[in-house]
Amino acid sequence: MVGAFEFAPAIALLPLAAFVVALLFGDYLPKKGAYAGILATAGSLALSLWMLVAVFGGEAYNEELYDWAIGEEITFHFGILIDPLSALMLVIVSLVALLVHVFSMGYMNDEGETGLRRYYAELGLFTFSMLAFVMADNLLMAFIFFELVGLCSYLLIGFWFRTRSAPSAAKKAFLVTRFGDYFFLLGVVAIGATFGTLSFAGDASFVDAAAGAIDAGETFHGFSAETWVTILGLLVLGGVIGKSAQFPLHTWLPDAMEGPTTVSALIHAATMVAAGVYLVARMFGFYALSPTALAIIAFVGAFTALFAATMGVVKDDIKQVLAYSTISQYGYMMLGLGVGGYVAGVFHLMNHAFFKALLFLGAGAVIILMHHEQDMWKMGGLKDKAPVTYYTFLAGALALAGIIPFSGFWSKDEILFDAIILGLEEPIFLVAYAMGLLAVFFTGFYTFRMVFLTFHGEPRTDAARDPHPLGWNVKAPLAVLGVLALVAGVANLAPVAKLTGVDIVFLEHWLDGEYGAVDGLLYSEYTATAGLETAYIAGSETITLIAAGVLALGLALGGAGLAYVLYNVPEPKAHTENLGQAREVLRSNYYQDEFQVWLATGVTLPLARAADRFDGSVIDGVVNGVSSVSLFGSGGMKRLQTGVVTNYAALIVLGFVALLVFFGVYGGWFV
C-alpha cells in the first residue's frame, strides 16, 4: 500500500472540484451538476476506503503539508491526520454524501426544483469542508472547516430563500451555532497561547503538553494546570454544544428542517452535527485529562438525550420528530464519551450516521410520495404502496429505537453499559444513566408513533391514497443504508463478546491500534489517562451486562409497544392531547425559544442599551467637552486680532518689553 496516503488530500479536493464545476457550469450540465457531485463523492469514497484498508494494513499518517503562518512561538499549518478514527469518519461522510447526491436527483431534479446549480455547488462545498475537517491534524484547521460547514449549513437551510421561514431558520442556525463557536475560538486561542501548539497528535501535540503540565504541577494564570485544562476543554466544548445541538444550544436544529430533506439527512443528521461529537473524540486525550470536563460532557449529553426525546413525542411533522431524535441521539454519544466510553461513543456515531441518514432519506421519500406533505396526520397506509421505503424506514426505526439486533441497539447498549458501570462506582453518574435510560423509552415511543402514523392504518388524505411514484435513485440509497442499519452493529458486538468469550469487538481493536494508529490516539491510552473506576452489580460483569441490556431493551420495547397499542389502528387518534398542559409545554419546546428570545431582548438588549448610553454620554461627553473648551477658549482669544496694524505693533512692543522684564528679573538685573 505504498503511497496510499499521498492521495489523502484528494479526498477533500474532489468535492471542491465538484463545487467549482457545479458553480461555473452547473446550468449547462445534465442534471445541473449532480453527476459532478456524484463522481467526486464516489471518488472520495473510493479513496476513503483505500485509507481504511491502508490503516487496516498497519499504517497511519500524520503529516504537516503546508505552513500557513510562521511565528516566533507558534506556527500555524495545514496537515492531514489519518488514523483509525478519521479513516472511519471519512468513509462515513463520503458514503452518506454519495448516497445523498444520488437521492438528490430523485428529490430535487425529478421534482423540478429551480436553483439546482446553487444546490449542488453548496453540497460540494459542504462535502469538501466536512472531509477536510475530519482529516485536520490541528485545532485551527479543524476550526476553519468547522466554520465552513456552518456556512454551508446556513446556505442550504436557506435554500428556499423566497419563503419566509427558511431564511429566518438559516439565520437562527447560523447565529446559535456561532454563539457556541465563539467559545470554541476562545478555546483555540487559549490552547495555542498556553501550549504553543495546536496539533492533535505527534510529539508536539497540545494533548502531550497539557499532560506534561499537569504532571509537572505547573500553574497558568493562577489556576492549577488541571483546572486550566478543564477551562480550555469547556471553551472548546462550547463549539461542540452549538454544532452538535446539545442543550442549551439545540434550538436551531429543529428549525433547520426548513432546508431540503436531503440536506437535513446529510448535514443535520449524519455529518455536520456529528462534527461536534467527532471533535470531542478527536481530542479525547485532552478531555481525559479532566474528569470535570468529562462529567460535564456526560451530563449535558444525558440531559439532552432525555430532554429532546420528550419533545419528539408530541411533534406532528415527520421531519420535526427526526430532528428531535437527532438531538437526543447526539446526547447519547456525548454521554458515552463523557463516561469514558470512547469506543461506545464512536460506535454510536457511526451507527447513527447510517440509520439517521436512512430515516431522513426515508422521510424524503415519504414527502415525495405525499406530494410534499410533511404532517404525519395526513399520511397513513403507505406501507403497501411503497414497500421499499417502508421496510428500509422500518429498519432505520428499529435501529433508532434500539431493538435487537439492529445496529442502534448494540451501540446504545454499550453507552448505557459504560454509564452504569461508572455510575456504580461514582453514584452521581447513575443520574446521567437514569436520564439516558428513560430516554430509551421515549425514543421507542416516538419512533414507532412516527412509523405507525406514516405507514400503517388507513390513508387519511387523497395524497396518501394515491402516492407519487419513486425512482431508482430514491430507492437505491435507501436500500444501501437499510442494510447498513441492520448490520453495522456487527462492528462491535461487545455484549456477545463478553458473554461468549468470542473476540468480535472489531471496532474496539480498530480504535485501540490493533491495526495502524498514531501514537497517543489510542483507546487504551485514553482509558489509562482518564483513570475512571468502574464497578459491577454484585461484582459480576455478566450480571451487570445482562441487567443493563434487558432493562434498556425492555424500555425500548415498552415504548414501541405503547405506540403500537395507541397508533397501530386504522384510524389513530391524537392521544397526545390527553397530556393536557404537559403537551402544551412539550409542543412549545419547553419555551426554550421564548426563553432565548427573552434573554436577547430582556437581558442583552438593555445591557447593550446601557453600554450605548455610557458610550454616548461619558465617553463622547469627554471627547466633546475637550473640543468645546478649546472652541470656547479660542473664541475669546481671537478677539486679540483687531485687524489694525498699529495694535499689532503695540502688542509686539509690549511683548518685547514683557520678555525683557522677565529675563531681567530672572537674570537678576534689578537686584
**Nearest distance from residue 601's CB to other proteins, in Å?**
52
Closer of 70 and 644 to other proteins (Cβ):
644
Distance of alpha carbon 348 from alpha carbon 326, whole angstroms: 12
Beta carbon nearer to other proteins, 216 or 644: 644
Helix, strand, or coil (residue 294):
helix
What φ, ψ does residue 566 adopt, rounded to 5°?
-80, -35
DSSP string, 409-467: HHHHHHHHHHHHHHHHHSTHHHHHHHHHHHHHHHHHHHHHHHHHHHHSS---SHHHHSP
**Cα–Cα–Cα angle for 413, 414, 415, rounded to 5 degrees:** 90
Q: Which three cell numbers stand for residue 38?
A: 456524484
Write down the least CB distance from residue 627 to other proteins, Å: 18
In the complex with other proteins, the residue whose CB is nearer, 626 or 650, is 650
Q: Does 653 bind other proteins (CB under 8 A)?
A: yes
DSSP β-ladder status, 223-224 and 219-220: antiparallel
Residue with smaller CB distance to other proteins, 608 or 661: 661
Which is nearer to other proteins, 68 or 669 (by Cβ)? 669
CA distance 226 to 211: 9
Segment 636-642 long-range contacts (CB within 8 Å, at least 24 positions apart): none
DSSP class of residue 59 equals -
User: Which of 52, 89, 79, 45 lies closest to 516 in space, CA to CA?
Assistant: 52
What are the two backbone dihedrals, phi and then psi, of residue 555, each rounded to the nearest 5 degrees?
Answer: -65, -40
The count of other CB atoms within 10 Å of the CB of residue 381 is 18
Residue 652: CB minimum distance to other proteins, A: 9
Which residues neighbour 529 within 8 Å (Cβ) at sequence distance 6 or greater? 211, 285, 288, 289
Which CB, 161 or 656, lies closer to other proteins?
656
Q: Single out the segment in contact with other proteins by CB under 8 A; choices: 180-188, 433-441, 600-608, 634-642.
A: 634-642
Which one, 640 or 671, has the nearer CB to other proteins?
640
Is residue 432 within 8 A of residue 341, CB to CB? The reply is no
Binding segment for other proteins among 120-128, 525-533, 646-654, 661-669 (CB under 8 A)?
646-654
Q: Which stretch binds other proteins (CB under 8 A): 58-66, 173-181, 504-512, 639-647?
A: 639-647
- In the set 502, 550, 650, 665, which binds other proteins (CB under 8 A)? 650
Residue list 224-253, contact with other proteins (CB under 8 A):
none
Among residues 2, 538, 644, 671, which is the contact residue for other proteins, using CB under 8 A? 644
Binder among 58, 633, 642, 663 for other proteins (CB under 8 A): 642
Taking contact as CB under 8 A, which single stretch among the options 26-34, 211-219, 418-426, 647-655 is the one that binds other proteins? 647-655
Stretch that binds other proteins, among 8-16, 88-96, 310-318, 635-643 (CB under 8 A): 635-643
Name the one range near other proteins by CB under 8 A: 339-347, 477-485, 537-545, 644-652: 644-652
Is residue 581 a contact residue for other proteins (CB under 8 A)? no
DSSP 161: T
What's the min distance (Å) between Cβ of 645 and other proteins?
Answer: 5
Residue 556 and residue 347: Cα distance in Å, rounded? Answer: 19
Q: Which of 641, 655, 662, 669 binds other proteins (CB under 8 A)?
A: 641
Tell me the Ramachandran region of residue 649: left when phi exceeds 0, alpha when psi lies from -120 to 50, beta otherwise: alpha
Handedness of CA 492, 493, 497, 502 (dihedral sign): negative
Q: Which is nearer to other proteins, 624 or 641 (CB)?
A: 641
- Give the DSSP per-residue string, 347-371: HHHHHHHHHHHHHHHHHHHHHHHTT
Minimum CB separation of residue 667 from other proteins in Å reads 20
SS3 for 495-533, per residue?
HHHHHHCCCCCHHHHHHCCCCCCCCCCCHHHHHHHHCCC
Q: Which of 69, 636, 646, 668 binds other proteins (CB under 8 A)?
A: 646
- Residues ≥6 apart with Cβ < 8 Å to 195: 206, 209, 210, 213
In the complex, the smallest distance separating the C-beta of residue 647 from other proteins, rounded to whole angstroms, is 9
Stretch that binds other proteins, among 320-328, 444-452, 550-558, 638-646 (CB under 8 A): 638-646
Q: Which of 577, 638, 666, 671 binds other proteins (CB under 8 A)?
A: 638
Closer residue to other proteins (CB): 540 or 642: 642
Which element (helix H / strand E) includes 148? helix 139-157
* The one-letter amino acid at 451: V
Minimum CB separation of residue 661 from other proteins in Å reads 17
CB of 669 to other proteins, least distance (A): 17
Each residue 426-465 as x (binds other proteins by CB under 8 A) or -, in order, gives ----------------------------------------
Q: Using an 8 Å Cβ cutoff, are 48 and 87 in contact?
A: yes
When the beta carbons of 193 and 651 are compared against other proteins, the nearer one is 651
631 touches other proteins by CB under 8 A = no
Cβ-based nearer residue to other proteins, 69 or 644: 644
649 interacts with other proteins by CB under 8 A: yes
Q: Which is nearer to other proteins, 597 or 649 (CB)?
A: 649
Q: With CB under 8 A, what is the number of residues at the site for other proteins?
A: 10
| Smallest distance from other proteins to CB 174, Å | 57
Q: Closest approach of Cβ 621 to other proteins, in Å?
A: 28
Which phi and psi (to 5°) does residue 450 adopt? Answer: -65, -45
Q: Answer yes or no whether residue 651 interacts with other proteins by CB under 8 A.
A: no
Q: Which C-beta is closer to other proteins: that of 223 or that of 648?
A: 648
Choosing from 112, 222, 580, 643, the residue that interacts with other proteins (CB under 8 A) is: 643
**Amino acid occupying residue 54:** A
| Closest separation in Å from C-beta 188 to other proteins | 58
| Contact by Cβ (8 Å): 80, 90 | no
**Least Å distance between CB 639 and other proteins?**
8
The pairing of strands 61-70 and 75-82 is antiparallel
Q: Does 645 bind other proteins (CB under 8 A)?
A: yes
Residue closer to other proteins by CB (options 221, 638) is 638
Single-letter amino acid, residue 2: V
What single-letter amino acid sits at 349? L
Query: What is the smallest separation between the CB atom of 644 and other proteins, expressed in angstroms?
Result: 5
Residue 617, classified by CB atoms within 10 Å of its CB into exposed (0-12), middle (13-18) or buried (19+), is exposed
Cell of 202: 505527534
Of 273, 274, 319, nearest to 165 by C-alpha is 319
**Distance of alpha carbon 571 from the chain centroid:** 38
* CB 632, min distance to other proteins, A: 15
Closer residue to other proteins, CB minimum distance, 611 or 653: 653
Q: How far is the CB of 666 from other proteins (least distance, A)?
A: 23
Q: Which positions lie near other proteins, rule CB under 8 A?
A: 638, 641-646, 649-650, 653
